[in-house]
A and B are shown apart, each in its own frame.
Chain A
Amino acid sequence: KAGVTQTPRYLIKTRGQQVTLSCSPISGHRSVSWYQQTPGQGLQFLFEYFSETQRNKGNFPGRFSGRQFSNSRSEMNVSTLELGDSALYLCASSGDPGTGGGQYFGPGTRLTVT
């Protein structure tokens, strides 16, 4: 099976702009989670979608949002970008999130805000 894919891999944006990142999960996986990884805060959970519904949400401001499509592909959006939003954004999919079977991460999108 193909792994989790994320596009784009690298992105440079200016403060105040908005950005949309895309994630395609492993075929058959219905759960998609998003994480922010920074040197200062480490890996932090943003939100999780399952069958097009947001099931869990981390402690991030409302500027961070997401959605999931019927084919399980997911997008996350960050509006009104701030310098502190510069990070590696990781998407992870899971085939059976209720059993704790682990998540499969994509390579991430490196976002730089200038």
Chain B
Amino acid sequence: QQQVKQSPQSLIVQKGGISIINCAYENTAFDYFPWYQQFPGKGPALLIAIRPDVSEKKEGRFTISFNKSAKQFSLHIMDSQPGDSATYFCAASIRTGGSYIPTFGRGTSLIVHP
């Protein structure tokens, strides 16, 4: 049972374009939504995160849009660069036992062509 559905599985964008990755969840108990970036041979790195009381959060070229009623959230990468080529994971976290435990989407492989 996949609790967090991520799409697309792969994405090819030209340099300077906008990359958009979407995620959807079912469990309304999730209340923290981070995005991670993973390069080959490395562990995931936290990119940006949002809580459900906010509809949008922007950090540099990265923006999360959050739609609580639709139970969907997305990552927008503006002015995409070849260095952004990586795998991106969305996650939905629930607080349990005193910690936030994430459930990850399956990942999106982004390739930005120069």
Chain A residues with a Cβ under 8 A of chain B: 4, 31, 33, 42-45, 48, 50, 55-56, 90, 92, 94, 97-100, 102-108
Contacts and interface: CB of A to CB of B under 8 A. Distances in A.
Nearest to A107: B43
B12 interface: no
> Chain B, interface size: which category?
20 to 34
Contacts of B43: 4, 90, 92, 105-108
Given A42-B104, A106-B43, A100 B98 contact: no
A53 B32 CA distance: 23
A55 B106 CA distance: 25
B101 interface: yes
B25 interface: no
Given A42-B105, A43-B89, A48 B97 contact: yes
Interface stretch (B44-52, B60-68, B70-78): B44-52
B99 A48 contact: yes
B96 interface: yes
B46 A102 contact: yes
Interface string B83-109: 000000100010111111111111100
A56 B99 contact: yes
19 contacts: A31-B99, A42-B106, A43-B44, A43-B104, A48-B101, A50-B99, A55-B99, A56-B97, A92-B43, A98-B100, A99-B100, A100-B34, A100-B49, A100-B51, A100-B95, A102-B34, A104-B45, A104-B46, A108-B43
